[in-house]
Amino acid sequence: MRSTAFVGILALAGTWLASGAPATAEEQLPVKEIERIVREYLLREPQVIYQAIQELQKRQQAEEAVRQKAMIAQNADAIFRHPDDPVAGDPKAEATLVEFFDYHCGYCRSMSPGLRALIDDDRNMRFVFKDLPVLGPDSVTAARAAVAANRLDPKKYVGLHFALMQSKDLSRDAVLAIAERQGYDRDRLAAEMDSDWVKQRIDENLKLAEQLGISGTPSFVVGETLIPGAVDVSQLAQLLEEQRQARN
């Protein structure tokens, strides 16, 4: 079976080889003969493979960007305005930054001090937290506790979030102990995090991430833009500023 990459290269290379008027049905070469000709050409001109792959990547990236933009618009309420999502910053701010994260994710952890500083420094920003536990059972435990804690007392959530981001131990006992130090009632939180609605909320985040094409954490959404992976916080700050300017 031919790979997608080879079929794409074959098509692109074929366009570069084509010249003159289209062949008639009688003049058309068999597929195997065309492949032989293309292979020989690629052996003579190997740089064509690199150029073809670059062109394919550009096309795929452009198509994915268009798809993601459409999916962000289609799911705007779920992304930016879900009533059960924890929120930091100014709830009426002109610019919103959404993070999909996992408490076990090393890249999420490395970015957390910078994100906390951004939240503290940018008074005209709204920050939305989206739990996306994809790295095992402890990730799920921490996510369930965080989602439940936000409903019990959203004012304490930000402190709990960043405390969990710094904890190497995310077992149930450790997570409840961290929450207790942040002012939560341990027993109430333990009961709430096992509620069906918490599981449903996390499942909704996982489904939303799949629709957006998010395959890992952290991932960010600013306006119509999806930013996969860890990035410099200054880049996120710039995108927020561009979003504010676009609204004025």
Read off the pLDDT of residues 16-71 as tens digits, 9 standing for 90 and up.
444 444 555 555 678 888 888 878 877 887 777 777 787 777 776 677 677 778 88
Give the pTM: 0.76
Confidence of residue 130 (pLDDT cuts 50, 70, 90): very high
Whether 86 and 24 map to the same domain: the answer is: no
Whether 196 and 114 map to the same domain: the answer is: yes
Contact 99, 239 (CB under 8 A): no
Whether 14 and 126 map to the same domain: the answer is: no
How many CB atoms lie under 10 A from the CB of residue 39?
A: 13
| 4 pLDDT above the threshold of 70 | no
Whether 205 and 238 map to the same domain: the answer is: yes
Confirm whether 105 is domain-assigned: yes
Domain boundaries, position 36: 4-55
What does the pLDDT look like over 161-170, one tens digit per residue? 999 999 999 9
Quick one: pLDDT at residue 37?
83
Segment 102-121 mean pLDDT: 97
Whether 107 and 151 map to the same domain: the answer is: yes
Sheet harboring 87-89: ordered strands across? 87-89, 125-131, 95-101, 219-222, 225-228
| 178 pLDDT above the threshold of 60 | yes
Confirm whether 93 is domain-assigned: yes
Q: Into how many domains does the chain fold? A: 2
CATH number at 228 reads: 3.40.30.10
Whether 39 and 92 map to the same domain: the answer is: no
Quick one: pLDDT at residue 20?
45
Ranges of H-type helices in the chain: 4-17, 31-44, 47-74, 76-80, 106-121, 137-152, 157-166, 172-181, 186-193, 196-212, 233-247
Whether 83 and 133 map to the same domain: the answer is: yes
Whether 131 and 33 map to the same domain: the answer is: no
More confidently predicted of 217 and 29: 217
Quick one: pLDDT at residue 44?
83
**Least confident span in 10-14, 17-21, 179-183:** 17-21
